[in-house]
Structure 1
Amino acid sequence: MDGKLAVIGLGSIGSMALWQASRLTDAVVGFEAHSPAHGRSAVGGDTRLFRMLYRGNPNYYPILERSRQLWAELEAETGQDILTRCGGLSIGTKDGPYLTALLETTRTNGAEHVILSREDMAARYPQHNLRPDDIAVYDPHAGALRTDRAVTAAIEAAQANGATIHTDTPIDSITETTDGVIIASGEKTWTYENVIIASGGWSRRLMPDYLKTATETRRNYLTWFVARDAAQFSPEKFPIFIRISGNRSMYGAPAVDGVTVKATLDGRSSPTPQADSVPRELTAAEITETMETVTEFFPGLFPNIVRSDAFPDLYTMDGHPLLGRLADRSRIYCATGFSGAGFKNATGFGEIAAHEALGKRTFDGLDFVRPERFAQ
C-alpha cells in the first residue's frame, strides 16, 4: 500500500477533503492534474457566494452550519482571510416563486433572516435599482469566499499535517481490487486502501457507466464590471446578492479587489463536450443579455464587461451532488457533481468525504446525495 487514502482532484471539494483527511491520518495523498487552484478549474473566478438562505432541500442546512464553522477553522489554522463576511441579499418579486420558495426553506430551517421592503432597500442598499414589486431577504451570515485562497490554504494545512501532494499528475484510470484501489498516471501506478474522486468536470472518465449517464459536464461563465464609485460597492456597503426579478436574474459579489464588481447572469450553464475545452469567450447573446441586465439592475456600474471567463463543472440529473461510495463495500468514494453550487459547502462536504472514506464515521440524512440513487 502507498497509503490509506488518495484524493484525486484538489479543487473545491478535493482540497477540503484532503485537509480533513490529514487531520485523521498522515497517510493521505492528493493528486492534481495541473496545479492547485489552476485557472481552468471550477475554482476560477476569485469568489463564490456563501449563504445560509437558499431554496430547496432543507437537509443542506446542517452542512451549511458545519461549513461555516470549518471555514473559520481553516482561517484560524492558516492565518488566511478566506470568507469576507459582508452579509447577503436575496432579491425578487414579493410573493413571487423565488422568494416564496426561499422563505419556506428558511423558516423550515429556522435560519436567521430579515425581510427588507423596497423602501428599506432604497435606504440601506441604493446600489440596487428595484422594480416596484421587488423586496429582499437579508442573510447576516452570508459573504464572499475567496476561492484561490481557500484551496491553497487547505492544501497548505494538509501538507503541514503530513499529507503528500502530486501536482501535474492526471489520473488515467482507477481499478478496484479486493485489497485496495490501483490508480494509474501514464506508466506510474499506486495502490491505496481507499480513493476519493473529486475531480469535478474531469470526474466522468473515472466513473462507472451508470454515473456517466447521470452526469454532464457544463460550462459556467462569469462577468465583472467597474463601479462609477467603487466605495459604494465595497464589502462594507454591498453584500453578496442573488436576484430573480421577473424575466431577469443575476448574482454577484462586492468589489473584493477594490475595483471590479462580479455580476453574472444566474442559471446559464450549458453543456460542454470536454472539461479541457470549455469556450472561454462569451457569445454575442450572452454579452447582450448581461449588459442589458446590469444596465437595469445597477445604474452605479458602467455597463461594459471589463472581464469575463468560463469554467467547467460536473452536473447531475437532479442537481444534487454525488457523495458516497460507489457501492456498499466499494473502496471508491465519490465527492463530485456539485452542479455549480458546491463551494459554499466545500468544507462540510470535505469533512463528510474524509471521515466516510477512511471509515471513521458515517453521516445520516444524506440519501439525496448518495450515488446509488442513480443505480437503477
Structure 2
Amino acid sequence: MTDGKLAVIGLGSIGSMALWQASRLTDSVTGFEAKHPAHGRSAVGGDTRLFRMIYKGHPGYYPIMQRSKELWAELEAETGQDILIRCGGLSIGAAKGAYLASVLETTRITGAEHHLLSHRELAERYPQHNLRSDDVAVFDPNSGALRTDRAVTAAIAAARANGATVHTNTAIDSITETEVGVVITAGGESWTFEQVIVASGGWSRQLLPVYTKEHVETRRVFLSWFVAREPKEFAPERFPVFSRIYEDRSMYGAPTVDGATVKATLDGRGRPALDPAAINRELSVEEIAETMETVAEFFPGLVPTVVRADAFPDLFTSDRNPLLGYVGDTGRVYAATGFSGAGFKMASGYGEIAAAEALGKQIFNGLEFVRPQRFSPR
C-alpha cells in the first residue's frame, strides 16, 4: 500500500507548478513544503522575475517558454490572479558587442518576435536609460515581469482546489527507493509514494544521487531596489523589464510594482553557499558599491542608494542547464531542480513537463540537454 501516486518535494518556483499540473492529471498527489508557500527565504522571494521569450542559450528552451506563456495565462484565468505583467522587455548593449550578437543569434534560430531599436529610437522611447554612445537594443514585445509570490500561492491554491494534499512546515530528511515505491521521511514520520519529484531548489542537493551532487552547488543570489524620483516614469506601461550587459558592467531589472521602488540588480553575481538555510542576507560593502555605481551610470531617474536588498539560495549546475528527469535506480525519483537562477520564467512549463513525465506521459521531445543522465559516469 502507498500513500498516493505522486509526491512533490518543495513547493517553490517549480514544485508549486508541478503540483498544480499533477493535480490536473490525478487526484492522488501530495506536496511537501519545508516552511510555507512563497516563504521569504526561498528562491521565490523578491517580488518579481523576468519573463523573456528571447533567452540566449540552448534553442530547446524556446518551446518551453512558448508553453510557459500559455500556462501563465491559464493560471491567471483559473485563479483570478494577475501574475504576468505584460510590459515587454529590452536587451541593451553595444551595437557590435557580444551580448546583443548572442541575443540576435537566438532570434535567428528560434524565430522569436523582436524589434531592433537604434540608439535614437531607444533614447526617444525609453529615456529612463542613460545610454552609452554605441548602445542599441532588442525589444521583445512578449516579455514581462512575473509576480512570484502570486504565482506560487495561486498554483498551490489551484492544486488544492483540484484535490491535492499539501503538507507545510514539513522538511524532508530522506528519500529511499524500494521495489514498490519511494519512502520519504520527515521529523520521524514517513510516507510511501509510487513516484516522487524533487523540486526543493537550493535544498535539493542532499536528496540527489552522488553522481549529480558532483555537478551541482547551492549559490547565493542577491537582489536590490532603488527609489524612483518620478515613479510614474518607471511604471510597467513606460518601463519594460531590461537586461543590460557589457564587459565592464551588467544589470537587469523590472518596473515598479509598488509605485515607489524599482528593482535593478547586478547580473551574474551568484556565489557558492554551503548551507542554503544560512546564507548571508546582507549585501557586502563591495556588492553595494558596485550596484550603486552601476545604477548611478545607467539610471539618472533613480536615487543611487540601495533602499532594499535581499539574498536567496538557488541550486546551480556546472553547465547552467537544469536537472529535469529521472535520477536513481528505479525510475521512481524525478529531479526538477538546478535551474541556476533562471528557472522562474519557465516554471509553469517545467512544472508541466515534470508532472506529466512523473505520471508516465511525455509531452516534449529534444530535452536531452536538461536530462540528469548527461552527468552520469560513462
Task: Report the 3-state secondary structure (helix = DSSP H, G, I; strand = E; otherwise coil) of the residue aligned with 1:58.
Answer: coil
Q: Retained in 1: the 8 A contact 2:8–2:18? A: yes
In structure 2, the residue matched to 1:354 is 355
Number of matched residues? 376
Q: Residue type matched to 2:110 in 1? A: N
Superposition pairs for residues 1-12 of structure 1, below 5 Å? 1-12=2-13
Provide the C-alpha distance between the structure 2 equivalents of 1:176 and 1:196, rounded to a whole number of angstroms: 13
Instruction: Report sequence identity in percent.
Output: 69
Report the counterpart of residue 122 of structure 2 in structure 1.
121
Q: Is residue 110 of structure 1 aligned with residue 111 of structure 2?
A: yes
Query: Considering only aligned residues, what root-mean-square deviation do their CA atoms show, in Å?
Result: 0.8
Contact 1:280 1:310 (8 Å CA) reproduced: yes
C-alpha deviation, 1:363, in angstroms: 2.7
> How far apart, CA to CA, are the structure 1 residues paired with 2:271 and 2:63?
30
What is residue 77 of structure 1 aligned with on the other side? 78
Q: Take 2:301 and 2:104, find their aligned partners in 1: how far apart are those partners?
A: 29
Compute the displacement of 1:361 (Å).
2.6
Give the letter aligned to residue 204 of structure 2.
S
Counterpart residue number, 1:341: 342
Aligned to 2:40: 39
Q: Which residue of 1 aligns with 2:173?
A: 172
Deviations 1:58-102 (A, max 9, x none): 110000000000000000000000000000000001121100011
Q: Does 1:132 align with 2:137?
A: no
2 CA distance for matches of 1:351 and 1:171? 23
Partner of 1:216: 217
For residues 1-376 of structure 1, the aligned pairs below 5 Å read 1-327=2-328, 329-376=330-377
Q: Is the 8 A contact 1:134 1:245 kept in 2?
A: no
Deviations 1:30-65 (A, max 9, x none): 000000000000000000000101211111000000
Separation in structure 2 between the aligned mates of residue 117 and residue 342 of structure 1, nearest angstrom: 30
The answer on whether the counterparts of 2:177 and 2:330 sit within 8 Å (CA) in structure 1 is no
Tell whether the 8 Å contact from 1:327 to 1:372 is kept in structure 2 after alignment.
no
Measure, in 1, the Cα distance between the counterparts of 2:78 and 2:368. Answer: 32
Q: Is the 8 A contact 2:209 2:328 kept in 1?
A: no
For residues 21 and 36 of structure 1, what CA distance do their matches in structure 2 show?
Answer: 17
What residue identity is the alignment partner of 1:268?
A: R
Q: Deviations over 1:302-357 (max 9, x none)?
A: 00000000000000000000000015741000000000000000000000000000
Letter in 2 for 1:288: A
CA drift of 1:107 comes to: 1.2
Q: Deviations over 1:3-41 (max 9, x none)?
A: 000000000000000000000001000000000000000
CA contact (8 A) 1:218 1:270 kept: yes
Is the partner of 1:205 in helix, strand or coil?
Answer: helix
SS at match of 2:112: coil
Kindly provide the amino acid, as one letter, of the partner of residue 252 in structure 2: Y
Distance in 1 between residues matched to 2:86 and 2:287, nearest whole Å: 30
* Farther-moved stretch of structure 1 (362-371 vs 10-19): 362-371
Tell me, what secondary structure is at the counterpart of 2:60? helix
- Give distance in 2, aligned partners of 1:207 and 1:53: 31
Cα distance per residue 1:124-181 (max 9 Å; x no partner): 0000001001100000000000000000000000000000000000000000001100
Structure 1 residue identity aligned to 2:58 = N
**Contact 1:241-1:253 at 8 Å conserved across structures:** yes
8 Å CA contact retained: 2:253, 2:264: yes
Shift of 1:360: 2.4
Aligned partner of residue 290 in structure 1, secondary structure: helix
Given that 1:280 and 1:309 are in contact with CA atoms closer than 8 Å, whether structure 2 keeps it comes out as yes
Structure 1 stretches lacking a partner, 5+ long: none
Residue pair 1:32, 1:169 contacting (<8 A) in 2 also: yes
Alpha-carbon offset, residue 237 of structure 1:
0.2
> In the alignment, residue 62 of structure 2 is paired with which amino acid?
Y
CA–CA separation in structure 1 for the residues paired with 2:376 and 2:361:
25
Give the unaligned 5+ runs of structure 2.
none
- Superposed CA offset, 1:230-264 (max 9, x none): 00000010000000133100000000111110000
Tell me the distance in 2 between the aligned counterparts of 1:328 and 1:173: 16
Q: Aligned partner of 1:45: which letter?
A: G
CA distance in structure 1 between the aligned counterparts of 2:82 and 2:359, rounded to whole angstroms = 29
Structure 1 residue 362: Cα displacement: 5.0
Deviation at 1:187, TM superposition (A): 1.1
TM-score by length of 2: 0.99
Describe the SS at the equivalent of 2:225.
strand
Which residue type is aligned with residue 80 of structure 2?
A: G
Q: Which amino acid aligns with 1:168?
A: N
CA distance in 2, matches of 1:106, 1:196: 33
